[in-house]
A and B are shown apart, each in its own frame.
Chain A
Amino acid sequence: MSVLLFKVILIVLIFLISLGLAAYATYGERKVAAFLQDRIGPDRAGPFGLLQPIADGVKMFLKEEIIPTVSDKFLFILGPSLFMVTALMTSAVIPWGTPMEFGGVSYPLQVADINIGILYVLGVVSLGIYGIMLGGWSSNNKYALLGAIRASSQMISYELAMGMSVIAVLLMTDGSLSLNVIVEGQKGLNWNVFYQPVAALIFIITAFAECNRTPFDLPESESELIGGYHTEYSSMKLGLYLFAEYVNMFISSAVISSLFFGGYNFPGLEYLQTVLPTNLVSLISFGVFFGKILFFIFFFMWVRWTIPRFRYDQLMRLGWQVLMPLAIINVLITGAVITFFGN
């Protein structure tokens, strides 16, 4: 099997998994919301309502497509597409498991092991704001514009703290930005979260803000802005926005778990590698990574149905006056400790 063929298969698989998981995350969200509120949630379509995402998808496709006459049509269509593309692109650099082996050749379970992995993630995620910004602005609607402005200012404010919290991790991995190296460095239970709890906390909080999830869902805030940046959207274009949010959540969970929670590492991985065939271990490690991702997706939902939204001034104060200085101090302390005491 050529490397190219393996990569193509891997890309298609990851693509399908991201989309499938995002589809079922919508179902999961409704179920989690229901369970946390002592309800049952969707249970009509199929057993336990498992066909609900399909029903929702069909509904979205069959809805009437409305494009406002005063909108900029090209940008109006470009908005949701861009948001979706950037949401899906991020998964390229995430190491999904230990390498597989076919015919004596080792294939890493990672689409692209580029040496600036985490930088690529941060870059592509911040590109995603263009999808929201273009969609909100081209709708020619004040609520959509307000939502888009909120989204972009929120992204800018929280991206700084996010980048700073990542730097503290990078200091510990000898400055390598490759996600593969970062995950490799967390063998067993040597997870970064135990060495960098503050960075992990900041990163998780900022990830919530980057995904526009509660308590930072001001761009959407139904109660104030009708639908926020997607007020004017209907049919599958609205569906794409909602769907991309779940893809973003999936990718964020993957990045959180590979940066701070050991990625595919788990205690006993080395032992398994000596007794079991390579490919099986690879699948197990993928399963463990997936479990971590699912937990974080659940955590996203759990928080959403627990706490209310921040006020806008609180959001800005938290971003600039708390998270930013905290992240910088964290970097300084980490640097000092590494300089004086070694790794």
Chain B
Amino acid sequence: MQLTNRSKVVVKKEMTFVEKLYLPAIFSGLSITIKHLFKKKATLRYPEVTREFAPVYRGMHVLKRDEQGRENCTACGLCAVACPAEAITMDAAERNKGEENLYREEKYAAKYEINMLRCIYCGLCEEACPKDAIYLTDRIVHSEYTRGKFVFGKDVLVEKVDERIDITKRKKTYKID
């Protein structure tokens, strides 16, 4: 069955005199390659130039804070339950008096770890989260020298108060308001 009309029938025949000269073929080849000399290059000069990610790109996670800088996460554990790769673990703790400016609700995650080598970046944790606490961002997980260092704790995952991570693109793509 013919799928496209680009297929060529292979015939094993003697080369004609012109083909035996090789030169016409070589010159046509040379003209093809010289055209590529002036073409736009496909390479991006990473890290000076970065490729623009698709809005649905799922990279490294972030644990969000609210507008007043309080952590959203209440350590409910829904993300860990939803995680198909079992990459997420956490320890819950109760908020003490005087910590209201740190945690939004009475319960918070004392320890929150994601094993980045187990994570498959499916985004189910994000969908499971009822508190808008975890999001996947367009940041790339950096490389490390040992496997142990890929277990990211709260020090890496929670966004800094003065360096907020923009997740508006992400919100638009999967949450239908």
Instruction: Contact check, B33 vs A305: say whether CB atoms are below 8 A apart.
Output: yes
Stretch from A34-42, A68-76, A102-110, A116-124 forming part of the interface with B: A34-42
A36-B36, A37-B36 known; A306-B30 Cβ under 8 A = yes
- Residue pair A38, B36 in contact (C-beta under 8 Å): yes
Q: Does B13 contact A (CB under 8 A)?
A: no
B interface, over-half SS: helix
State the CA gap A306–B32 with chains docked (Å): 8
How many chain A residues touch B (CB < 8 A): the figure is 13
**B41: Cβ under 8 A from any A Cβ:** yes
B9 within 8 A of A: no
B37 contacts A39, C-beta separation under 8 Å? no
The reply on B54 being an interface residue by CB < 8 A is no
User: Complex formed: what's the CA distance from A40 to B42 in Å?
Assistant: 8
A32 contacts which chain B residues (CB < 8 A)? 37
Docked CA distance A39–B42 (Å)? 6
Chain B residues with CB below 8 A from A302, complex form: 30, 33-34
Cβ-defined contact, B26 with A306, below 8 A: yes
A66 CB within 8 Å of chain B: no
Does B45 lie at the interface of the complex (its beta carbon under 8 Å from any beta carbon of A)?
A: yes
B48 to chain A, nearest CB (A): 10
Do B37 and A307 have beta carbons less than 8 Å apart?
A: no
- How long is the Cα–Cα vector from A305 to B41 in the complex, in angstroms? 16
The CA-CA distance from A36 to B39 in the complex, in Å, is: 9
Q: Which of A26-72 contact B (CB under 8 A)?
A: 32, 35-40, 43
B45 contacts A303, C-beta separation under 8 Å: no
B residues near A (Cβ < 8 Å) are 26, 29-30, 32-34, 36-37, 39-43, 45
* 11 A-B pairs with C-beta separation under 8 A: A36-B34, A36-B36, A37-B36, A38-B39, A38-B41, A39-B41, A40-B43, A303-B26, A306-B33, A307-B26, A307-B29
* Chain A interface (Cβ < 8 Å from any Cβ of B): 32, 35-40, 43, 302-303, 305-307
